[in-house]
Chains A and B, each alone.
Chain A
Amino acid sequence: DAGVIQSPRHEVTEMGQEVTLRCKPISGHNSLFWYRQTMMRGLELLIYFNNNVPIDDSGMPEDRFSAKMPNASFSTLKIQPSEPRDSAVYFCASSLFIGNTIYFGEGSWLTVV
């Protein structure tokens, strides 16, 4: 079975540019999570969806970040405008339901210069 699929795997962009990260959860999973990982702050939950509805976005750092889940098989995390401090690995993860095992994608490695 295909796992969680993220794209792009690596992105280098200039400060001020828009960045869009994409995620395809495991088929049949109804919960989707976006995490950010940095050396300084470790693994942070940014937002999670249940049945395509955002449940908790309190981890989104500021208004420059937005996430959508237009259907059960696709989600995006957008940063506009991007800043160097946004450089991190962004993980998408999904689970069958909230509280069940979370399965992670390989991550999107973002560098903003």
Chain B
Amino acid sequence: AQSVTQLDSQVPVFEEAPVELRCNYSSSVSVYLFWYVQYPNQGLQLLLKYLSGSTLVKGINGFEAEFNKSQTSFHLRKPSVHISDTAEYFCAVSPTGNQFYFGTGTSLTVIP
């Protein structure tokens, strides 16, 4: 069985500070990993994805994530956040060739 755990439901952070949003997954097979962002009143947009190769993945808007197979984690990081990064962030797992499983989301609030 597959599952995705986002450990923090809400993360407040000051503008220009670094942030890490945590994601852990469980799966008995190889997986693809994704982070999506949802701005208020909008759909989900792809931030970045890991399919294979380098475990450090860079995405849009200065975000990056690192796949750690031994810890079954795919944490999202940004060295300096902006007000415009305030949004809901979803981690997702896709066992190879199978459907997506989404986490419950982390609400990031950037404080001026």
Contact = CB atoms under 8 A, between A and B. Distances in A.
Interface string A71-106: 000000000000000000001010000111111111
Interface in B1-47: 32, 34, 36, 42-46
A101 B44 contact: no
Interface of B: 32, 34, 36, 42-46, 49, 90, 92, 94-100, 102, 104-105
Nearest to A109: B41
A98 B94 CA distance: 9
A11 B14 CA distance: 37
Contact of A99 (B32, B44, B105): B32
Nearest to B45: A104
Contacts of A4: 43
Interface of A: 4, 33, 42-43, 45, 48, 55-56, 91, 93, 98-107
Contacts of B98: 98-99
Contacts, number: 50
Residue of B95, B99, B105 with highest tally of chain A CB at under 10 A: B99
Contact of A43 (B42, B46, B90): B90
A100 B100 CA distance: 9
Contacts of B105: 42-43
B95 to A, nearest CB: 7
B2 to A, nearest CB: 12
Contacts of A33: 99-100
Contacts of A56: 99
B43 A43 contact: no
